[in-house]
Structure 1
Amino acid sequence: MADYKLYGGLGSPYSMKMRAVLRYRRLPHQWISANDPQVMAPLFAQVKAPVIPVLEFPDGTVMNDSTPLVLELERRHPGVRSIVPDDAGQAFLAALLEDFADEWGTKAMFHYRWDRERDQRQMSQWLAFDRLKGRGREAIQAAADLFRARQVGRMALVGCTPQNAPLIEATAQRVYALLDRMAAEDLYLFGSRPSLADFAWFGQLSQLAVDPTPHDLMRETAPLLMRWLVNIDDASGIEGEWRDPTLAPTAATAGLLKLAGEVYLPFLQANAQAIHDGRETFETELMGHAYSQGVFRYQAKCLAELRAAYARLSVEARRRVDPILDAAGALAALA
């Protein structure tokens, strides 16, 4: 089998997610730092948005956006250490939790990275080093200063404002606690093998585990989660089974679904309603906290796709997942 080529960065949660997926699935690949504009320009010309990671398939096809990449790998390598649970109901729950990680979990990553001065300073230097290593400290620091200013300036755009900070930090702490318990008791969210939901949360948390402030919090409150992240980064040696779908979900899975029902799905609904009404911003209340930001059309698409995936479930699959979603407060938003 010819090698895949994954162009990404250590500071990109989606790059880390996809590298871990390729490693777990034992798909031969090259990990290439996306730091050369001359290399990246022709790749970005072949995708809709110029963002990493970019995956070049052995046949020369180029794609980015981690969820479509995961699904394309499933299509090309069916049954080969799949990360989508065999049971349709569990597969839907995993897709919901993956989406939750990708679209809300990233707010915690962005907030912690660019809110406090200590995090801004270290991470801007590290990310500049990744792109300019070997080119001298002055060049690295100059690039760090420019990148820091740009990212801090984007915080309000993605909802990472002082008003929203208490909610974002509260949800991150809930995720820490839930996944630290999972690491001790259940291995993964849907059995003794990792799913697309595990890899999505790994991607976001891989950043929180190294940025100074969330790193300190993780070491203090979720030390087993911190070690779990190191292990899933290369799970190529893991052999496992999917959880019996007739059993109740694990505490971590049920807890994440409940958090999605309290925060993520209401957030998606408020965003979609604002777009429908022609508004540029929206305000809502989540977990007792006021939350506001500008609308994102991509996240309206996420809600539509989740609802479509739910609608495609068979009667039998719905019979099993509806009580789980209802208990989490998530069913009404999907149905």
Structure 2
Amino acid sequence: MPAMLGMAVAMADPIIVYSAPHSLFSGKLRSYLRKTGQAFVERLPSHPDFGARIAPKIGRVVIPVVETPGGDILQDTTEIIDWFEARDGKIGAVPTTPLMRVLSHILEMWGDEGLLRPAMYYRWKFDAINQPFLTLAFGRMILPQGAPAECASIAPAVMGRMQAYLPALGISDATAAAIEADWRAVLAALDAHFLRHPHVLGGRPSIADFGLMGPAYAHLGRDPVPLALMKAEGERVCRWIERMNVADADMPEFDSYPRDFFADDALPDTLSAILKLVAAQYLPELRALTAFIANHLARHPEITEGAPVIAPGAGRSLGSFQVQAGETAFSMSARHYQIWMLQRVQDAFDAAPVADQPRIRDALAAVGLADLLTLRLPRRIERRHYTEVWGAERAIAATPTNA
């Protein structure tokens, strides 16, 4: 019998998680592990085993990373969750009904990738208030019992590398007002939703919740400036974060609420409002990114299946592209990992019964997200050995355009 969310899964030995309290994706994974009753031990990346064994295995320094009792090393929160869902007989973080399944993948992608911009903006553009807190957080990731002076001497190098990434995300003084307006709109929509529902997709947590937890907790619900904003304008979002950070259900406000996902034919207005914001704020980036990478593939017919998307020594992205979101235009780096996440949305749709697919299309069209099903590249992007590689060529209905 599959284990249910919130019920402990028996394990002879705990897994080891290398993570950090202020790490965005660590927040996603930690919530999943707690809600699914996994036995785990959390270690900082300053632990000697991380530098000696883990980072060399992966090929770079990145968190979170899981080491299983059997010695397997897992990296990437989405793949880690897949591993647990498969191992434990589908714990239930991914809905089984066709529309909810597709929506869960959309919202996980949005949390992981679409909310990186406000998360990084609110962390790094308010130094006067955030910096003392962040200096201690980053310093104590390296030196866990470090005194303030010690943290001040070792944290700036790490923090500087993080701040240097802001232009790649389209974060600048020119985009600041739009980023703030967009996040406050999202915060208001989430607050309205969590007033009436305990989780994103109903009465139990899903990958939609876990994807959202990364930015909403580790950055936007923990750093001083965005936390103050959340307390002022998103009290129910704060309450949802509390709920997502504990192992039990923690739903006293919803004592008679069904402990299941929404039915496919019962999309609440508050969820529709969130999805419309995803369409307005994030879909333009995905359209432009897909067009950019399609053009890259057209310019490089020599690309072969299995080749790394980013060749060794070629930097972190395929280049930069322009995004027009509403009245705001900006340049950002092509984060190809988003395409891998988008493919998971499309795979969920393609796997749905043919009879259900028109209803899924109609539901996405109603909130402005129908394009997510057709933004496809002539090559898939796959993940192998902790990195992204080009997949096989495939036929697609139409070449994506930056419309």
Structure 2-normalised TM-score? Answer: 0.77
Query: Where does residue 308 of structure 2 map in the other structure?
Result: none
The answer to whether the aligner puts 1:98 opposite 2:98 as a matched pair is: no
CA distance 1:246–1:39, change in 2 (3 Å): closer
Query: Where does residue 330 of structure 2 map in the other structure?
Result: 291
Q: Please give the secondary structure, in 2, of the residue aligned with 1:45.
A: helix
Shift of 1:38: 4.5
Corresponding letter in the other structure for 2:291: Q
Q: Distance in 2 between matches of 1:63 and 1:292?
A: 32
Q: Which moved more, 1:84-93 or 1:125-134?
A: 125-134
Query: Where does residue 251 of structure 1 map in the other structure?
Result: 269
The answer to whether the aligner puts 1:277 opposite 2:295 as a matched pair is: yes
- Runs of 4 or more off by more than 6 Å in structure 1? none
Shift of 1:59: 1.6
Query: Where does residue 364 of structure 2 map in the other structure?
Result: 325
- Give a deviation string over 1:234-277, Cα, whole Å, max 9, x none: 14346963234243312342122212222222211201212332
Shift of 1:30: 1.2
CA distance 1:133–1:27, change in 2 (3 Å): closer
Corresponding letter in the other structure for 2:363: I
Query: Where does residue 167 of structure 1 map in the other structure?
Result: 178
Q: Which moved more, 1:285-294 or 1:305-314?
A: 305-314
Query: Where does residue 152 of structure 1 map in the other structure?
Result: 163
Q: Which residue of the other structure, out of 21, 25, 39, is the alignment partner of 1:10?
A: 21
CA distance 1:292–1:201, change in 2 (3 Å): same
Q: Which residue of the other structure, out of 348, 360, 383, is the alignment partner of 1:309?
A: 348
- Give a deviation string over 1:297-327, Cα, whole Å, max 9, x none: 2223333443333233222332332222001
Q: Distance in 2 between matches of 1:159 and 1:113?
A: 14
Q: Which residue of the other structure, out of 67, 70, 86, is the alignment partner of 2:96?
A: 86
Query: Where does residue 242 of structure 2 map in the other structure?
Result: 230
Bigger Rg, structure 1 or 2: 2
Query: Where does residue 334 of structure 1 map in the other structure?
Result: 373
Q: Distance in 2 between matches of 1:162 and 1:33?
A: 33
Structure 1-normalised TM-score? Answer: 0.92
- Give a deviation string over 1:161-205, Cα, whole Å, max 9, x none: 222323322222122112212221011122211111111112211
Structure 1: gaps (5+ residues): none
Shift of 1:218: 0.7
Q: Distance in 2 between matches of 1:310 and 1:219?
A: 37
The structure richer in helix per residue is 1
Structure 2: gaps (5+ residues): 1-10, 252-257, 297-317, 375-403
Q: Distance in 2 between matches of 1:39 and 1:123?
A: 22
Aligned identity (percent) is 25
The answer to whether the aligner puts 1:52 opposite 2:70 as a matched pair is: no
The answer to whether the aligner puts 1:264 opposite 2:282 as a matched pair is: yes
Q: Distance in 1 between matches of 2:59 and 2:351?
A: 27
The answer to whether the aligner puts 1:184 opposite 2:184 as a matched pair is: no
Q: Which moved more, 1:194-203 or 1:163-172?
A: 163-172
Corresponding letter in the other structure for 2:110: F
Corresponding letter in the other structure for 1:223: E
